Amino acid sequence: MTSNEENFIEIKGISKNFGEVVAVDNVDLAIKKGELFSILGASGSGKTTLLRILAGLEIPSQGSILIDGVDMTSMAPYDRPVNIMFQNYALFPHMSVFDNIAYGLKKEGMDKESIQEKVERMLALVKLEGYENRKPNQLSGGQSQRVALARSLIKEPKVLLLDEPMAALDKKLRQSTQFELMDIHDELGITFVIVTHDQEEAMTLSDRIAIMEEGHFVQIGSPNLIYENPKSKFVADFLGNINLLEAKITEQNDGQIVVDCAALGGELKFNQTEQSNALEMTVALRPEKVMIEKSLPTNDEQKHVKGIVEDFGYFGNLSIYRVRTESGHIIQVSKQNRDRVEQSIKWEDEVYLSWDNDSLMLLGE
Amino acid sequence: MLNQRSRFIFSALCFGFAFLYIPILLVIIYSFNDSRLVTVWGGWSVRWYVELFNNENVLNAALLSFQIAAITATFATIMGTMAGFIMARIKKFRGRMLFSGMIASPLVMPEVITGLSLLLLFVSLQNSIGWPASRGMNTITIAHITFSMAYVAVIIQSRLTEVNESLEEAAMDLGARPLRVLWDITLPIIFPAMVSGWLLSFTLSLDDLVIASFVSGPGATTLPMLIFSKVRLGVSPDINALATILIVVVTLGLCIAAWITSRQNRSAR
């Protein structure tokens, strides 16, 4: 891979201020060619501003952007090899589906036959054959989304930017659309940059995710890496469910930290080369990595705590329990419902919780 | 209880409507009065309409008024659209507050003051640069454009703030330069608002008496001015006929404007 493919999109020290407010604060990022990259953050984290800077709709206060080795920083949006799909789809209400999709090609001055051919191919790709003459107000949410996607793909941009592409769809439709979007991405090989606040969407779609908070990236990596090895409490909490349990450092020596975690029944050892100055740490444990049983775990080696089921939710494929431990802490546990039997663990039942030591993560702030 | 209350509301409504529309209705009915005396009913007739269409003064005044109204509406729509566009789309520029305040001021300015200030302007212009050489249709038109464009600007601004800016951004993103975006996207979307702005300016110009009286000169008499001067010499029955025709024209204009606006609101949803 050449460096241009490794750093297909290069964001260097980009900042954007709106008056006093700093929306994007000195951000660096490199996105690979053909990657499906997500920027995940809560609203107001600056993710949409960053996307708009990539599209050229917002001029950065500082820094530069290179796409495929070409400096884009001061290039107008109509000259950039980048197209964007807006959250509200922004279909032109006075134009038919065909004219909406063909708009980009018409502005290029392409001849009519080629436009016809390309639009038809695009309609087939998004499975909207036969809808050419409809007006946007005659389309359902899902259909509008496909038209918007087709319109932004037809110029074969080097980069496609998607602003909350699924936000306006209902849950069922969202899942099938996610897979279709991935198929289209694989078929065209265009680099996708998606902005979303939906962590599930980011996890299923992306090759890599950048988590954004208050104008910064807090962690960048594959969904798996971020989920299993979050760098901070914020990331751990943001992505999926997690138990965050208070712990105090009792001992620190070469490569090992010993903490006292009341919720998990006392001392825990972690191999960590990095020394910590703080005394308070957080032990993080994903709910699906906790075993819940009514009898004492057979394996004596394994640490366990006793507790009482305070609450449980039945979701069909899994059940989620909130267990109050003897120490008075709440631990969330999720359990796959593998057997077709009645729920054996119910409210007020006494249970034993156990876990693999590898599942525990020690996090700073 | 509820019934009583609704009966009260209903009668209040009837009273309000009666207060507003019975005088107009009377004018319309009396325009078909056969009698020479305005206040005495003498049977149905259209003789005052016939007389009206044979009266050259009336026809000339009507022609002048409609000409002024058409030119006013056209220029006011063009300039008002530009002003409304700037207020809705350009978020920050030096003097924005001043600009938007000044655009809206003709809406609240007493007509007497607008008329007087424009008269002073025209007189001093005539003294210093020799233009306008005389006051008449041209000065009335200019005066009408100044206050009509304020209405158009407000209509266009409110329409544009409803139109999502991402439509224009999407067009730009797809390769259209700003002027192209204006032509392809913005103007077609606000076109109904421009039409209703045009119709509103047209009726405003047709209605105006005060400002036109200030800035007009000898030989240029608009329809409202003619009516007013005729009434001063005593009410003659043909005025009723003329008033009826004006009512019909203005009502039609406003109805079309309202219909276009409501249709556009429905399609925007």
Who's near B128: CB < 8 A, 6+ residues apart?
none
Mean pLDDT of A328-354: 86
If pLDDT is split at 50, 70 and 90, which confidence band does B269 have?
Answer: very low
Tell me how many domains chain B contains.
Answer: 1
Strand partners, B44: B33
Residue B1 has pLDDT above 60, yes or no: no
Closest Cα in chain B, distance from residue A208 (Å): 25
Other beta carbons within 10 Å of A102: 24
| Residues of B in Cβ contact (< 8 Å) with A101 | none
Mean pLDDT of A208-228: 93
| B162 found inside a domain | yes
- Sheet hosting strand A216-221, strand order edge to edge: A82-85, A159-163, A191-196, A36-41, A208-213, A216-221
If pLDDT is split at 50, 70 and 90, which confidence band does A338 have?
Answer: confident
> Considering chain A, what is the average pLDDT of its residues?
89
Selecting from A55, A88, A92 the residue whose C-beta is nearest the C-beta of B173 gives A55
Closest Cα in chain A, distance from residue B172 (Å): 5
If pLDDT is split at 50, 70 and 90, which confidence band does B268 have?
Answer: low
Give the ranges where chain A is alpha helix by DSSP (H): 3-6, 47-55, 97-108, 112-125, 141-153, 171-188, 199-205, 223-228, 233-238
| Residues of A in Cβ contact (< 8 Å) with B173 | 55-57, 77-78, 82-84, 152
Residue B235 has pLDDT above 80, yes or no: no
Task: Judge: A78–B175 Cβ closer than 8 Å, yes or no.
Answer: yes
Span A3-236: which CATH code? 3.40.50.300
Task: Judge: A104–B175 Cβ closer than 8 Å, yes or no.
Answer: yes
Give the C-alpha separation, A160 to A157, whole Å: 6
Task: Judge: A55–B176 Cβ closer than 8 Å, yes or no.
Answer: no
| B183 found inside a domain | yes
Closest Cα in chain B, distance from residue A202 (Å): 24
Give which of A27, A84, A76, A23 is closest to A52, Cα–Cα: A84
Residue A365 has pLDDT above 70, yes or no: no
- Level-2 CATH architecture, domain A241-363: Beta Barrel (2.40)
| Residues of A in Cβ contact (< 8 Å) with B268 | 93
Q: Which of B173, B177, B182, B269 to mutate to test the interface with A (most CBs of A within 10 A)?
A: B173
Task: Judge: B174–A92 Cβ closer than 8 Å, yes or no.
Answer: no
Give which of A206, A218, A241, A281 is closest to A42, Cα–Cα: A218
- Rounded percentage of chain A residues whose pLDDT exceeds 90: 57
Q: Is the separation of the CB atoms in B220 and B137 below 8 Å?
A: yes
Residue A316 has pLDDT above 80, yes or no: yes
Task: Judge: B174–A151 Cβ closer than 8 Å, yes or no.
Answer: yes
| Residues of B in Cβ contact (< 8 Å) with A56 | 173
| B42 found inside a domain | no
Closest Cα in chain B, distance from residue A52 (Å): 10
Residue A21 has pLDDT above 60, yes or no: yes
Selecting from B169, B175, B185 the residue whose C-beta is nearest the C-beta of A57 gives B169
Give the C-alpha separation, A172 to A152, whole Å: 24
Mean pLDDT of B58-79: 94
Selecting from A88, A94, A108 the residue whose C-beta is nearest the C-beta of B175 gives A108
Task: Judge: B172–A57 Cβ closer than 8 Å, yes or no.
Answer: yes
| Residues of A in Cβ contact (< 8 Å) with B189 | 93-94
Determine the residue of chain B that is closest to A153 in CA distance: B174
Determine the residue of chain B that is closest to A154 in CA distance: B174
Selecting from A78, A92, A104 the residue whose C-beta is nearest the C-beta of B185 gives A92
pLDDT of residue A3: 61
Chain A residues within 8 A (CB-CB) of chain B? 55-57, 76-78, 82-84, 86, 88, 90, 92-94, 103-104, 107-108, 137, 151-152, 155
A330-336 and A280-285: which strand pairing?
unpaired
pLDDT of residue B5: 79
| Residues of A in Cβ contact (< 8 Å) with B267 | 93, 137
pLDDT of residue A301: 66
Cα angle: B28, vertex B260, B17; to 5 degrees:
35
Q: What is the pLDDT of residues A292-315, one digit of tens each?
A: 888 887 776 678 888 999 988 888
Q: What is the DSSP string of A199-259?
A: HHHHHHH-SEEEEEETTEEEEEE-HHHHHHS-SSHHHHHHSS--EEEEEEEEEEETTEEEE
Task: Judge: B176–A84 Cβ closer than 8 Å, yes or no.
Answer: no
If pLDDT is split at 50, 70 and 90, which confidence band does B265 have?
Answer: low
Q: Which of B174, B180, B183, B267 to mutate to test the interface with A (most CBs of A within 10 A)?
A: B174
Rg, Å, chain B Cα set: 23
**ipTM exceeding 0.95, yes/no:** no
Closest Cα in chain B, distance from residue A146 (Å): 15
What residue ranges do the domains of chain A occupy? 3-236, 241-363
Who's near A88: CB < 8 A, 6+ residues apart?
A168, B164, B166
Determine the residue of chain B that is closest to A85 in CA distance: B170
Residue A328 has pLDDT above 70, yes or no: yes
Selecting from B164, B180, B189 the residue whose C-beta is nearest the C-beta of A94 gives B189
Selecting from B164, B173, B185 the residue whose C-beta is nearest the C-beta of A77 gives B173
| Residues of B in Cβ contact (< 8 Å) with A137 | 267
Residue A342, SS3 per DSSP: coil
Residue B178, SS3 per DSSP: helix
Residue A42 has pLDDT above 60, yes or no: yes
Give the C-alpha separation, B38 to B237, whole Å: 5
Give the C-alpha separation, A123 to A129, whole Å: 5
Give the C-alpha separation, A29 to A90, whole Å: 28
Cα angle: B125, vertex B129, B132; to 5 degrees:
55
Task: Judge: A155–B171 Cβ closer than 8 Å, yes or no.
Answer: no
Task: Judge: B180–A107 Cβ closer than 8 Å, yes or no.
Answer: yes
If pLDDT is split at 50, 70 and 90, which confidence band does A2 have?
Answer: low
Mean pLDDT of A123-131: 91
| Residues of A in Cβ contact (< 8 Å) with B184 | 92, 103
A-B CB pairs within 8 A amount to 61
Chain B residues within 8 A (CB-CB) of chain A? 164, 166-167, 169-177, 180, 184-185, 188-189, 267-268
Full domain range(s) for residue B196: 58-268
Q: What is the pLDDT of residues B86-103, one digit of tens each?
A: 989 887 888 888 888 888
Closest Cα in chain A, distance from residue B91 (Å): 12
Give the C-alpha separation, B164 to A165, whole Å: 17
Q: What is the CATH number of the domain that holds B143?
A: 1.10.3720.10
Other beta carbons within 10 Å of A37: 24
Element (H, E) at A42: none
| B5 found inside a domain | no
Selecting from B172, B180, B189 the residue whose C-beta is nearest the C-beta of A77 gives B172
Q: Is the separation of the CB atoms in B204 and B197 below 8 Å?
A: no
